């Protein structure tokens, strides 16, 4: 759990750096979703952030952390449906785990608290149904 806490500290530092330098919330859905509508001035920093995000695990590996192993057990159709829901839902609800769950809570935003409690509760319910009710 020490590693989890340390990872969380890095995520917090990232959010602080982005606000200090660019004045923006480090919400991944907002940064990526804003790419389409952004003017020339709004596109550069967004692309740079996304490039850094993809390179991040390799940067951590250079500093001695192991490259992470990832497992996706869901089938391809479920992955597609989930991706559509996450993409659409994060735009409709103006935020995702990072935007509402980290930056919004840090700003003591009631909207972000409501959104975070909602997606946590629904996520927990979905996992309960898929793992313990429908019997996998």
Partner 1 sequence: MRVVAALGAGLLFGAGLSLSGMIDPAVVLAFLDVAAIAEGGWNPALAFVMAAAVLITTVGYALIFRRRAPLFAPGFALPGSRSINCRLIAGAGMFGLGWGLVGYCPGPAIAGLGLGLGQTWLFVGAMLAGMVLHRVLIERPGIQPSSGSSRA
Residues 38-57 contacting partner 1, CB under 8 A: 38-39, 42, 44-46, 48-57
Of residues 93-122, those binding partner 1 (CB under 8 A)? 93-107, 109-112, 114-116, 118-122
Of residues 58-97, those binding partner 1 (CB under 8 A)? 58-61, 63, 65, 67-74, 76, 78-97
Does residue 134 bind partner 1 (CB under 8 A)?
no
Burial of 86 (0-12, 13-18, 19+ CB in 10 A): middle
String of DSSP letters for 54-113: HHHHHHHHHTTPPPPP----S-HHHHHHHHHHHHHHHHHTT--TTIIIIIIHHTT-HHHH
In whole angstroms, the minimum distance from the beta carbon of 99 to partner 1 comes to 5
Of residues 17-36, those binding partner 1 (CB under 8 A)? 17-30, 32-34, 36
């Amino acid at each position: 759990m020490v590693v989890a806490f340390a990872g969380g500290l890095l995520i917090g530092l990232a959010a602080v750096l982005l606000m200090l330098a660019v004045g923006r919330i480090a919400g991944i859905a907002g940064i990526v979703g804003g790419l389409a509508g952004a003017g020339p001035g709004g596109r550069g920093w967004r692309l740079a952030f996304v490039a850094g995000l993809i390179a991040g695990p390799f940067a951590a590996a250079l500093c001695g952390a192991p490259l992470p192993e990832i497992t996706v057990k869901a089938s391809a159709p479920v992955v597609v449906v989930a991706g559509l829901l996450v993409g659409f839902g994060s735009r409709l609800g103006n935020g995702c785990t990072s935007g509402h769950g980290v930056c919004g809570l840090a700003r003591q935003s009631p909207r972000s608290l409501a959104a975070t409690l909602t997606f946590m509760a629904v996520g927990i319910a979905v996992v309960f149904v898929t793992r313990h009710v429908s019997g996998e």
